[in-house]
Amino acid sequence: MLGSCIKLSNMKKCIALMLTTLFLVSGCSAWDTTADYAVKSWKTTKDFVDPPPQIDTDSYQFENPNQEKLAKLFTPVDGPLTTLARFVYNTDTMPDLDWLDLLMARFPWVNRVVVTDDAGTIVFMQPELPVKKISKPLKFEGVWRDIRLMTVVDYSDLGPELYIGRPYFRDVDFRGIIGVGFDPRSLLSLSPSPQELVIIHPGAGVWSRGADVDKKGLLEVDWDELLEDEVHGQVQVGEKYYTWIVRYIGSDAYVYATESVDPKAESGWLF
């Protein structure tokens, strides 16, 4: 069953995308030959047009080994994430197939694209039969005419799915929502040592690829209070120390963290 709704109150719009009974399937690729050609063509020039982000540690040296470690681990992950965020943010009209082809070519780790109309009805979804079902309705909230990115995380049985969304328009009229979803753990594989890096979704989850961390302890950190004044730092969880830095997508915070090399090292970022 596919259903959806939109509510208007005090100049606020809320879209709840109800996607249920989307069962696990295999072999669900729906790409046509045009899409395949776009992917192949993009891969031949990707390193020139969109090179993977790197930190040139030969140009300068970090005084803090904790920050040097974290920078090397999270930069190859954060670069593609922020590039995707900009790609979605720059789409202010209803996307077409060329947009979808380019999206999937540049960001092959994206799992799903959902587009609604202004009533919240799904007008397009790719793939039509997704591998990972949505465990609960997705609810994007935003202030009317406040154009910014929004995020929603769905915690399904197969793992987390992070959706980046934004409204789109025709002329100056609101026409619906664009949502792009992916498993954030797939991004961690871009790190040179993915088992040493975690992404913390404050108050909700800790995402990792085999990192030996106290997930419960990391979630018990009062991130809301900490992030009121800080954008990076070090926290102690049990007997371990973690160096962290926050990334905002719209107004939503996601924290990169790794175990500190030297908890006593002086703080101070070069970027």
pLDDT digits (tens, 9 = 90+) for 206-245: 999 988 899 999 999 999 999 999 999 999 999 999 999 9
pLDDT of residue 119: 83
pLDDT of residue 66: 92
Contacts of 262 by beta carbon, 8 Å cutoff, 6+ apart: 65, 66
pLDDT of residue 156: 85
CATH of 2-38+85-184, one of 3.40.50, 2.60.40, 3.10.110, 3.30.450: 3.30.450
pLDDT of residue 163: 93
- Relative to beta strand 173-182, strand 159-170 is antiparallel
Contact 195, 211 (CB under 8 A): yes
pLDDT of residue 259: 95
Contact 260, 244 (CB under 8 A): no
pLDDT of residue 132: 63
CA-based end-to-end distance of the chain? 48
| 169-to-95, 99, 117, 152, 233 alpha-carbon distances in Å | 10, 16, 10, 21, 39
Residues of the chain with pLDDT under 70: 1-62, 129-146, 266-271
pLDDT of residue 12: 40
pLDDT of residue 135: 57
pLDDT of residue 146: 64
Question: Using CA of residue 126, residue 127, residue 131, residue 133, what is the dihedral sign?
Answer: positive
